[in-house]
Every structure is written in structure tokens, then in C-alpha cells.
Amino acid sequence: MLIKRPSDNPSSDITPKDIYLNRRQFIAGAAVAGAAAVTGLGLREVAEPSLVAEANAKIDGLQKSPFSSTEKQTPYKDVSNYNNFYEFSTDKYEPAGLAKNFKPRPWTVTIDGLVKKKQELDVDAILKMAAPEERIYRHRCVEGWSIVVPWIGFSLSELIKRAEPLGKAKFVEFTTLYDPKQMPGQRVPVLKWPYVEGLRMDEAMHPLALLCFGMYGEILPNQNGAPLRITIPWKYGFKSAKAIVRIRFTEGQPMNSWQLSASNEYGFYSNVNPNVDHPRWSQAKERRLGEFLKRPTLMFNGYDQVAGLYSGMDLKKNF
């Protein structure tokens, strides 16, 4: 028989997916280069999307933000080597190594739930929704340490506006990728996977809430939540979901992973609050990485402008 039936093809003959994807990229790249040569377009401009895809690639044209802190920034080395990212490991020093081969591209984000425009968006399309800003934020972990990081992104509200949520939508739920092959920590049920976090709609729409894809002038390293995460500076770090694959709009309050794991210790709101202790340790002080003495923790991590979101609420109850 001249034409082989599919079953006749030994599996060794089938091109592995990553190689054929590379071939496609090569062909696409060649086509772009050809087109650029013909039309006289600068090659750099055309090639930008793929440039952005690489970790540590520089992000140009950053806008400064009035929300930025002037405090001393934590060294890049510390922020990229000390990570609470249980999808890789519960040891904070391990995600940097374990996330080396993680693939943040190609990546699609599902926008669904109570929205007019349910859609699957390529992450690079999301990155182009608004001009990237550098926002130097304080970041306070529920464990009692803190860092100052120059994140890159734009207000989460930019994406939410474009999704056009329905009037009934009161909350936004964020889901992290579930892929135990790439994320070895997910092979152990320390939390219920996939990781889920959530915000009330007005919190998510607050200009401080950042949709984030870079830090220190570069594309996010994998261990810091590439390709897309949120950064909510007035809440404990675990609220800032990483490696997001789904953004869902809901009427009811989402159940976030840590609340599900220990509802007496971790609530839905999880605002930084020095007056409400974790049942097992004090939240009155924090250690800024690189400093010897602890410093007092500030209400809402010092972001007083969000206080209005919680007026009339008992924050001891709604911890």
C-alpha cells in the first residue's frame, strides 16, 4: 500500500508537539521577516509580541505611576528566589528552580461567568489592552515578611471594562493553571487544586488592583506568576493569584483556596490588618526582607485610599 493509514505510522514518526510548534513559529517568523522586508517595516516592531513572550525580556515604554512607593526596592535576587508558590513547592526557595521549564506561552485566559463578552483571550492580546505602567508596591505576606517590588502591568479594571460584566456580577474569581506535569507541587494535595482566589467587584475595579505581567522592567519570571497574575497591594500576598487561566464573574462570593483549607485562619477579604492577628501568630509587625528589625505593619498595608471600600464593615469579622 502506498498511502499509509494512520495506524501504520509508528509513533516515533510523529513529530513531537513542541517541535512542530517551533517549526510553525519558524515559518511564521520567516513570513513576518519576508513581509517586513517587502513593506519596509522595521523588523523589531513586527517581532515585538514574540519578544515579549520571553522571561526577562525588557519591557519598553513604561509609564510611571502616582501609586508608586518611594521606599527602597527589595533586590531582584530576593524577589525572584523567595516565592510562596505552592504549585511548585511549599519551600519558598524551590520554585525558582522548579519553574525553570514552565511554559508561559502559548497561553489563553478564559473570561466567563456573568459577562456580556465571554471569550478566550491570548495572553499577548491582554498585554496590549493598555499601556504598561511601573507600579512600585509594598507586598505583605500573611507569614509576616514584606517586600517592595516594581511590578509592571495596568489596572485590572481595564480588562474588566472590556469584558463588560453584567449587573448581577458582584465578584470576580481567578483560577491558576492546573498542570501537575509542569507544576510538581500540585501532585501533593496540600491545597485543593487548582488555586482559586477572588475579589469583590468594587475591589477588583479599584485602580490600585493591578493586572501584572512584569517586574523590575522585565517580563515576569515563571516563579513570580508568569505570564499573568494579579497584585493586590492592600491584601495579604496569597490574594494575588498567579499564572491565571480563568477570570470568572459571579454573583456569589467565590471560595478561595486558603479559606477552604482553614476558614478560621484565612478569610475572603484578607486585608492587611495589624489589629487582627492570625490565630497562630501576631500580624502587628513584619520583617522587610533585608532588614534586621521588624517594622510595624500598617492598616491596609499603608494603602489608606481603599478604606472606603470597607466602611461600615466589621473587619475583625470579615478578616
Partner 1 sequence: MKLRLTKIAVFLGGLVPLGRLAWKAFHDGLGANPIEVITHSTGDWTLILILTTLSITPLRKFTKQYWLIGVRRMIGLFAFFYGVLHFTTYIWLDKFFDVHEVIKDIGKRPFITVGFTAFVLLIPLAITSTTGWIRRLGGKNWQRLHRLIYITGIAGVIHYIWLVKADLRKPLQYAFVLGVLLLYRVMVWMWEARKKLASATRTPRSAEVTEVSR
Residues 6+ apart with CB under 8 A from 138: 69, 71, 146, 147, 148, 233, 301, 302
Q: How far is the CB of 34 from partner 1 (least distance, A)?
A: 47
Q: Tell me how far apart the alpha carbons of residues 108 and 245 are, in angstroms, rounded to a whole number.
A: 6
Minimum CB distance to partner 1 smaller for 20 or for 281: 281
End-to-end CA distance of the chain: 71
Kindly give the interhelix angle for 17-39 and 43-53, rounded to the nearest 10 degrees.
Answer: 160
Q: Which residue has the cell 475595579?
A: 205
Q: How far is the CB of 220 from partner 1 (least distance, A)?
A: 17
Q: How far is the CB of 273 from partner 1 (least distance, A)?
A: 17
DSSP helix, strand, coil percent of the chain (3-state; round to 5)? 30, 25, 50
Pairing type for strands 285-288 and 244-250 reads unpaired
Minimum CB distance to partner 1 smaller for 145 or for 154: 145
Q: Tell me how far apart the alpha carbons of residues 143 and 280 are, in angstroms, rounded to a whole number.
A: 10
Q: How far is the CB of 17 from partner 1 (least distance, A)?
A: 33
Q: How far is the CB of 177 from partner 1 (least distance, A)?
A: 19
Cα dihedral across residues 148, 150, 154, 159: positive or negative: negative
Minimum CB distance to partner 1 smaller for 89 or for 231: 89
Minimum CB distance to partner 1 smaller for 5 or for 280: 280
Minimum CB distance to partner 1 smaller for 207 or for 274: 274
Q: How far is the CB of 200 from partner 1 (least distance, A)?
A: 24
Q: How far is the CB of 299 from partner 1 (least distance, A)?
A: 20
Minimum CB distance to partner 1 smaller for 155 or for 257: 257
Minimum CB distance to partner 1 smaller for 10 or for 189: 189
Q: How far is the CB of 145 from partner 1 (least distance, A)?
A: 6
Minimum CB distance to partner 1 smaller for 82 or for 178: 82
Q: Tell me how far apart the alpha carbons of residues 79 and 75 are, in angstroms, rounded to a whole number.
A: 7
The count of other CB atoms within 10 Å of the CB of residue 32 is 16
Ramachandran sector of residue 217 (left: φ over 0; alpha: ψ -120 to 50; beta: rest)? left
**Which residue ranges make up the site for partner 1 (CB under 8 A)?**
77-79, 81-82, 86, 90, 92-93, 143, 145, 188, 190-191, 261-262, 280-282, 287, 289-290, 292-294
Q: Tell me how far apart the alpha carbons of residues 224 and 87 are, in angstroms, rounded to a whole number.
A: 11
Contact 300, 271 (CB under 8 A): yes
